[in-house]
Amino acid sequence: MTERLDQPRQQGLRLRPHYDPEAFGRLSEQIARFLGTARFLVYMTVFVAVWGLWNAFGPESLRFDPYPFIFLTLILSLQASYAAPLILLAQNRQDDRDRIQNELDRGAADRNQADVEYLTREIASLRIALGEVATRDYIRSEFQRLQEDLREEACPPRQGESC
């Protein structure tokens, strides 16, 4: 570990060992991932079965854990006492990742909602603007009315005469 010049030196002896929490977290996730597999269950089943068969039916002089299998119980308890905190640590790390991902998703959803609202307002303003625009049929009817007015001015209708 390199010394930093912007921090005071630590006085005295450091009693706690230094470890990288991130590396320890990754290791715990790998172990927890392995403990949750069928392979682990098969390995553990084979281990317990071999242990039990060896100590129940093996040569009398080579049996190291007689029938109540106290040593096997101790080993399984020790394994469980380490497995539970490792699994909890892995779950906490996954919860942290999920929380961060949820915050990112929430931000993206908020931005998408703002975009949709903006586009909705733009479409509404375009519809209002289009409602004020003259259509082809309206212009055609106005031209026809103007033509009729011009004909009447150029040649006022008289009885029995045509222009």
64 in any annotated domain: yes
**Res 163: pLDDT:** 60
First to last CA, the chain: 109
Report the distance separating Cα 37 and Cα 19, nearest Å: 28
Q: Could you list the residue range(s) of the whole structural domain that residue 108 is in?
A: 21-153
Report the distance separating Cα 89 and Cα 107, nearest Å: 27
The answer to whether the predicted template modeling score (pTM) of the entire model surpasses 0.95 is no
Report the distance separating Cα 120 and Cα 118, nearest Å: 5
32 in any annotated domain: yes
Give the tens place of pLDDT for each residue, 91-133: 999 999 999 999 999 999 999 999 999 999 999 998 888 877 7
Count how many domains the chain has.
Answer: 1
82 in any annotated domain: yes
pLDDT band at 145 (very low <50, low <70, confident <90, very high): very high
CA distances from 82 to 18, 30, 45, 69, 91 (A): 20, 14, 18, 20, 15
Higher pLDDT: 21 or 147? It is 147
